[in-house]
Structure 1
């Protein structure tokens, strides 16, 4: 995970703590950090991410599940840093003499969180998976989390908890970016859902799922950026066809002073002729007054 993505995640975490969001929201953000690739030691130092999350492990004012999730994130990062220092030699977790009562042990992962999805990923939605989407105190936000869940879970082999954590992360980023439950926020959530549900948009779904597109970047993508490659190629072909059609030679107009406009009486009239009926019938003359724009035809 690079510095920008980690900083965005820490900002989301701090905002959720400041607003006293439900524990499930904060745990979802921490799970996203735990699932992502471990940042380097330099990135951890520059963002002070370890300090921010480390404090949560022993904070009695937060829920037990938050302390447990924070502990798992910090432990994972420590092991990753130690492994790099020892050039691949597995690190042995050190035992501290601190009594076990000072920090709650991390709860064991539930079977659904540790196993991939077992059903038909093509038919997944929140009704089938039944995730716990009552994450915030707002009905609008919870409904947007459901919308995002339905988009992210399509063709997704990840567990219900993993998909929900990603949906919560995207919704929180959109809520922060658009400044609340306004029309822009709701429209963006619908747009993201619609693009995720396009069957040919497999690359977008993959990048969002694996974190190659961060939630903070995903909610800022334009409609063109969200389109699948197939859709982009189709638009390009249509644009080329329209350009070719526009370049088709049009019949050259002649100007005559022998024709009089019946509307303004001027004799400055342009005209073209075309065979609109059978070959043995007279050609049709199409006229346009250059003075008033009046148009008429005769045979």
Structure 2
């Protein structure tokens, strides 16, 4: 039996599942790989859908739309049961054409959510022009909801000053070492759901940091994996978690945590919600180290020696 994954309600009344399978990060294709078809991603996406994931996170820059399309076709999960997000930046000067290209490759007729991938756009393009074209796609029924990714508070303030259709999502890097409380609070105040990618960064990029011990203790006491603890932490922070794995068992673990956190129940299966004390202990440990994995130069982040 597949776990029941709850959703967050967006300000336009649409719903987004609290956990999503990401087709970027580990699957991202470098320039010399764009013509290589990744059968491993097809299999992993099929596994994600088969175990219960109903939220797929894509982007034109990942170069993985063909694989996602094949996986969708082979699993046969009805389109209206899957929430599909994509992001534009490379071809942001041609929003309509770029979106149609995504739809064609994935083999679908609409996107549930289209995001501007980052405010750091190519020369000659602007967020305001791209947003106007994205609003037109909503009007045409090609896209259901629109939002942004990697936007700072100042970027959101600027967008909100002229947007006819308000952004419903801001997808950002979010983990204990990058909690972004000011941005999080601003999003909540303006009805913007925060989605977080790289939530497991302390397990794969910053091993040995202050969060490790706290998470390991909680995991051991509860009989969970450290990844489950971090997923619980993220969703209980009211963040939609974007994650990925090539291993079916890990995908099942992630969903079990999401089912518990998203439901708000005291327990779902073997997984219980984290207590306020446990949440705070992760917050405090994470605040001892500041780390950003992506867009370091654009955000002016200088890694510690």
Q: Name the structure with the higher strand share.
A: 2
Higher relative contact order (CA 8 A, sep 6+): 2
Q: Name the structure with the higher helix share.
A: 1
What TM-score, normalized to structure 1?
Answer: 0.25
Highest Rg: 1 or 2? 1
